[in-house]
Amino acid sequence: MPQPGMPLVESLNVLREIRGDDEVVLTVMGTAREWMALGEPHPLDWIYVPSSMGQAPSLGLGMALAQPDKQVIVCNGDGCMLMNLGSLVTITNQAASNYTLIIFDNGVYEITGGQPTPATSGNAPLVDHPALARAAGFQQVFVFEDLDEWRESARDVIDAPGPTFVHLAIAPVPGAVGPRSPGPAPARAQDFADAMQA
Amino acid sequence: MFTAPQVVGLLQELSFTHVVTIPDSTLGQWEDDLKACDEIEYVGVCREGEAWAVAAGLYVGGATPLVMIQCTGLFESGDSLRNALFDYRLPLFAVIGYRSFLNQSTLPGDTCLTFTEPILEAWGMDWVLYDQAENTSEQLEAIAAHCLRCREAGTPGVALVAEGRA
Provide the residue-wise pLDDT of chain B in tens; the chain has 166 residues.
899 999 999 999 999 999 999 999 999 999 999 999 999 999 999 999 999 999 999 999 999 999 999 999 999 999 999 999 999 999 999 999 999 999 888 898 999 999 999 999 999 999 999 987 778 899 999 999 999 999 999 999 999 999 986 5
Model pLDDT for residues A83-111, shown as the tens digit of each residue: 999 999 999 999 999 999 999 999 999 98
Contact B87 A185 (CB under 8 A): yes
Q: What is the pLDDT of residue A2?
A: 43
Say yes or no to pLDDT of A160 above 60.
Answer: yes
A99 touches chain B (CB under 8 A): no
Q: What is the pLDDT of residue B166?
A: 59
DSSP B52-84: HHHHHHHHHTT--EEEEEEHHHHHHTHHHHIII
Domain boundaries, chain A: 8-197
Domain boundaries, chain B: 4-110+126-132+155-162
The residue among B25, B2, B48, B26 whose CA lies nearest residue B144 is: B2
B43 touches chain A (CB under 8 A): yes
Q: Which of residues 102-131 of B touch A (CB under 8 A)?
A: none
Q: Give the number of other CB atoms < 10 A from CB of residue B17.
A: 18
The residue among B137, B102, B163 whose CA lies nearest residue B7 is: B137
How far is residue A35's CA from residue A16's CA, in Å, rounded to a whole number?
8
How far is residue A81's CA from residue B110's CA, in Å, rounded to a whole number?
33
Contact A86 B83 (CB under 8 A): no
ipTM of predicted complex: 0.96
Contact A52 B89 (CB under 8 A): no
Model pLDDT for residues A106-126, shown as the tens digit of each residue: 999 998 999 999 998 877 888
Contact B59 A62 (CB under 8 A): yes
Asked if A44 and A67 count as a contact pair (C-beta separation under 8 A), the reply is: no
Give mean pLDDT, residues A155-174: 96
Determine the CATH number of domain A8-197.
3.40.50.970
Q: Which of A50, A93, A197 sits opposite B83 (nearest CB)?
A: A50
Determine the CATH number of domain B4-110+126-132+155-162.
3.40.50.970
Q: What is the pLDDT of residue A1?
A: 44
Give whole-number Cα distances, B74 to A78, B11, B39, in Å.
Answer: 26, 20, 26
Q: What is the pLDDT of residue B102?
A: 92
Q: What is the pLDDT of residue B105?
A: 84
User: Phi and psi (nearest 5°) for B75?
Assistant: -60, -40
Contact A52 B57 (CB under 8 A): no
